[in-house]
Amino acid sequence: GGEAVVEAADVEIFSEDIPGWLVANEGKLTVALEVTLTDELKREGIARELVNRIQNIRKSSGFEITDKIAIVLSKNPNTDDAINEYNNYICNQVLANSLVLADEVTDGTEISFDDFSLYIHVTKL
């Protein structure tokens, strides 16, 4: 029923991992980021990676920065949803008039991801 005094020597502070979070601290500042990848984030990441790969193909093909292109990309269950959802975004970023999914891509360039590959054919219009 009386008053208690708690001093720094009486307390032990420790940190532990929180599943789905990345925590870092420096001095009195602590930052926590949620790092769980949702399906939505995965689809957006695939779309952004495709933009990067298509831009590299444009560059290696010697296309001008303003050249319009058409893209044929092989179907793959790992990427089809992302391509359908972000089709307009991808086309706008790479100046494509069209981005079509096909069962088979002839004369395509293979682009590899972590555990699968796609074939892509980029044509200058």
Residue by residue, pLDDT tens for the chain (125 residues) are: 789 889 888 888 776 777 888 888 888 888 888 888 899 999 999 999 999 999 999 999 999 999 999 999 999 999 999 999 999 999 999 999 999 999 999 888 999 988 899 999 999 99
40: its two tokens: 């939505």
Looking up tokens 């010697």, which residue turns up? 62
The per-residue pLDDT for 40 is 94
- List the CATH number of the domain containing 106: 3.30.2320.20
Evaluate whether residue 92 is within a structural domain.
yes
The C-alpha atoms of residue 108 and residue 69 are separated, in whole angstroms, by 14
Structural domain including 96 reads 39-124
Helix, strand or coil for residue 44?
Answer: helix
The per-residue pLDDT for 20 is 83
Domain count along the chain: 1
The per-residue pLDDT for 89 is 97
The C-alpha atoms of residue 23 and residue 32 are separated, in whole angstroms, by 4
What is the length of the chain? 125
**Do 119 and 79 form a contact (C-beta atoms < 8 A)?**
no
